[in-house]
Amino acid sequence: MAPPAAKADRAPREPRRETQPAANVEILDPIEGLALVPASEATGASLANELVPVAEPQVNDDAGPSAEQQINGTEQDANAARPERRERRERVDRAGRPITEQRAAEMAAEKAAAEVAAAAEAANAPLENGADGRDGSRDNRREAGGSGFGDRRENRADRFERDNREPRDGREQRFPRNDQPRENREPRSDQPREPRNDQPREPRNDQPRNGQEPRQDRDNNRNLTREERYAQRDLQRQQRALNPDGTPRTDQPQREPREPQQQREPQRPARQDLDLVVPGGGTFELMPDGGYGFLRSPYYNYLSSPDDIYVSPQQVKQYAMKPGDTVICTIRPPREGEKYFALVGVDSMNGRTVEEVRDRVPFSHLTPLFADQRMKLSTKSSQISTRVLDLFAPIGKGQRGLIVAQPKTGKTVLLQEVANAISENHPEVYLMILLIDERPEEVTDMARTVKAEVLSSTFDETADRHVKIAEMALDKARRLVECGHDVVILLDSITRLARAYNTVQPSSSRILSGGIDAGALQKPKRFFGAARNVEGGGSLTIIATALIETGSKMDEVIFEEFKGTGNMELQLDRKLANKRVFPAIDIPASGTRREDLLMSKDELSRVWVLRKFMSDMTATEAMEFLKDRIKGTKDNEEFLISMNG
């Protein structure tokens, strides 16, 4: 290790000027003996890094000693014998300015902040030279004769010697680093300038470019509006075109005035939003998230389609919409960026005004009753199937009927005849036909044959689609019943609907015989159990078909679950269908609960007599007997009267 270079000889120090102790000086540090000059007494000389003695107070010799002098006289006599102390220097910063009390507090705060920042930076620094991030400099310091952990503070004499040492190796003297804020730094030597003091800068005295006048200060334009800036620029342009005496300048060419440009026509938007409204309608479906919904079209079986009408959450609350509401409204076309038609206003809901719909009673709070209003199904004398139903299995408003049928017994044709009879004899009833998991050709035939709303989901569709269409149909029927309407749903078949619910049902540990989940039949039962006659007006009639003897254990379990839930049951016999005897109705096994509420006493007594007469007959013999007797009469009343003869 090379020995340290010898220090250059220091310049002789100038003798310190002897001054009297400064008056009214507050001692801040008793160790260093530094005095702080109040900010109000800081003079220009002190700012020039000079020690200014405080002027001694003038004493009037004629006047006697003051009270303060008398009190301090004793202390002055006592201190006279003491040796004279060194003169205390004013505490100044690195720029040579006196440090006031306020500035001392700021410097202490800045020093503390710098230490905290340095500690944080040292903690976040990557480990380069060792596991603990320390290099060998500490060992080098120890070899040089230092412990590395000694007191790093320097006394004021050592600091003064370090700052005033001669430059080494012919290099210029390095001034101490100035870490003070910008406003406290001394001006640069290359370009002296005064402190800004938050005042706008003076314009530079540069030469004008290309013979132009120097640009004025633009700081004043910050608070001007756009029109004021334009006017100011025009005024400056006019002033540059004139001499100081007001005559036009000839050293530069005059600009020709610009011709006024014609006002451009506003560009037409890419797409004009038409403010027209058109009539529309649909069945409301509420989305599970967001509170908004859509009006679904019946032409798409109430599924998502381009004809959907968007209903905002505010409109849902405004009109008190529920899932299944049939809405007649006005809509507007979709605007740019929109996908669906938007609801503008509501004309009616479920055949009622908006005010009437607000006061409706929820469907679950309605009182169910037995069916007491009969729906007559007889239309023509040759329509034997509907005439047999009127005699042995009458249907009333609010009936919950179950048609138990084997495959190929003519249940679909029977449903068509019942639907046509209801639409013809009871036009006030809203008729819906729901075909679940059926063949597509039967759906087309049903839609073309029956004057009713046909909702279908063929067997090639998913189980989710089956369930969604069924729930939409049920919600619509409930909303109509709440508003006092009579609704009839013909379902084919409830067995396949239960299968669809079993498919979409999450699997559980409770599995019934046939592979049916224990909770899968709850929703089909709720669908079938919604049929009821409501007290105060309105009814929901559901006539559903159930399949038996299909070779599937699941179908048998489903039928057993729904066997006792209906209040009307109609049995179809496969033996009659094989003999081509239609309708293939098993009369002894068919009937209606509380049929006395639907039939008169005279008609009821005659039907009972007829049942007793056919009790000993088989299903085939009983049906053939009825067909022979009914064909010769015009209607059922004539047939019952002819029994006496």
| DSSP secondary structure, 495-539, as one string | HHHHHHHHHHSPP-S-B-TTS-BTTTTHHHHHHHHT-EEETTS-E
Structural element, H or E, at residue 437: strand 430-438
pLDDT attached to residue 109: 87
Together in a domain, 591 and 447? yes
Together in a domain, 284 and 412? no
Q: What angle do CA 625, 626, 629 make, to 5 degrees?
A: 90
Together in a domain, 346 and 406? no
Is 73 annotated to bind ligand?
no
Is 361 annotated to bind ligand?
no
User: Lowest-confidence range among 123-137, 305-319, 594-608?
Assistant: 123-137
Together in a domain, 484 and 380? yes
- Is residue 267, in this structure, part of any structural domain at all? no
Is 398 annotated to bind ligand?
yes
Together in a domain, 302 and 375? no
Q: How many domains does the chain have?
A: 2
The CATH number linked to 521 is 3.40.50.300
Eight-class DSSP state of 373: S
The CATH number linked to 312 is 2.40.50.140
Q: Is the pLDDT of residue 584 over 70?
A: yes
Position 640: which residue type?
Answer: L
Q: What is the 3-state secondary structure (H, E, C) of 248-275?
A: ECCCCCCCCCCCCCCCCCCCCCCCCCCC
Residue 433 CA to residue 469 CA, distance in Å, equals 12
pLDDT attached to residue 564: 84
Together in a domain, 316 and 405? no
List the structure tokens of 526: 């709720």
Residue 309 CA to residue 39 CA, distance in Å, equals 78
Q: Which of 283, 367, 281 is nearest to 322 (CA)?
A: 283
Q: Which of 103, 121, 87, 116 is nearest to 39 (CA)?
A: 103
- Is residue 24, in this structure, part of any structural domain at all? no
Is 409 annotated to bind ligand?
yes
Q: Which of 427, 433, 415, 424 is nearest to 378 (CA)?
A: 424
Residue-range definition of the domain harbouring residue 498: 368-600
Cβ–Cβ under 8 Å, residues 570 and 590: yes
Q: Is 358 exposed, middle or buried (0-12, 13-18, 19+ CB in 10 A)?
A: exposed
Residue 589 CA to residue 612 CA, distance in Å, equals 13
List the structure tokens of 603: 């008609």
Torsion angle, alpha carbons of 413, 415, 418, 423, to 10: -110
Together in a domain, 422 and 304? no
Average pLDDT, the chain: 77
Domain boundary among 360, 387, 410: 360
- Is residue 441, in this structure, part of any structural domain at all? yes
Buried b (16+ CB within 10 A) or exposed e, 231-243: eeeeeeeeeeeee
pLDDT attached to residue 210: 54
- Is residue 352, in this structure, part of any structural domain at all? yes
Give the confidence band of 537 by pLDDT, cuts at 50, 70, 90.
confident
pLDDT attached to residue 45: 42
- Is residue 574, in this structure, part of any structural domain at all? yes
pLDDT attached to residue 50: 43
Q: Is the pLDDT of residue 304 over 80?
A: yes
Together in a domain, 391 and 324? no
Is 408 annotated to bind ligand?
yes
- Is residue 309, in this structure, part of any structural domain at all? yes
Mean pLDDT of 348-375: 92
pLDDT attached to residue 273: 53
Q: Which of the two residues, 453 and 275, has the higher pLDDT score?
A: 453
Mean pLDDT of 582-600: 92
Is 351 annotated to bind ligand?
no
Is 410 annotated to bind ligand?
yes
Mean pLDDT of 312-331: 93
- Is residue 78, in this structure, part of any structural domain at all? no
Mean pLDDT of 430-455: 94
User: Lowest-confidence range among 175-179, 492-496, 502-506?
Assistant: 175-179
Q: Which of the two residues, 461 and 90, has the higher pLDDT score?
A: 461
Residue 323 CA to residue 284 CA, distance in Å, equals 5
Mean pLDDT of 216-226: 65
Q: Is the pLDDT of residue 594 over 80?
A: yes
User: Can you tell me which residue has the tokens 């003070």?
Assistant: 180
Residue 635 CA to residue 391 CA, distance in Å, equals 11
Mean pLDDT of 425-443: 94
pLDDT attached to residue 39: 46
Together in a domain, 305 and 443? no
Residue 232 CA to residue 226 CA, distance in Å, equals 10
pLDDT attached to residue 219: 56
Give the confidence band of 467 by pLDDT, cuts at 50, 70, 90.
very high
- Is residue 591, in this structure, part of any structural domain at all? yes
Eight-class DSSP state of 551: S
Is 400 annotated to bind ligand?
yes
35, 257, 335, 438 from 21: Cα distances, Å: 10, 77, 88, 116
Alpha-carbon radius of gyration of the chain: 54
Together in a domain, 510 and 592? yes
Together in a domain, 543 and 417? yes
Is 563 annotated to bind ligand?
no
User: Is the bond preceding 583 in cis, omega lying within 30 degrees of 0?
Assistant: yes
Together in a domain, 421 and 351? no
Q: Which of the two residues, 375 and 89, has the higher pLDDT score?
A: 375
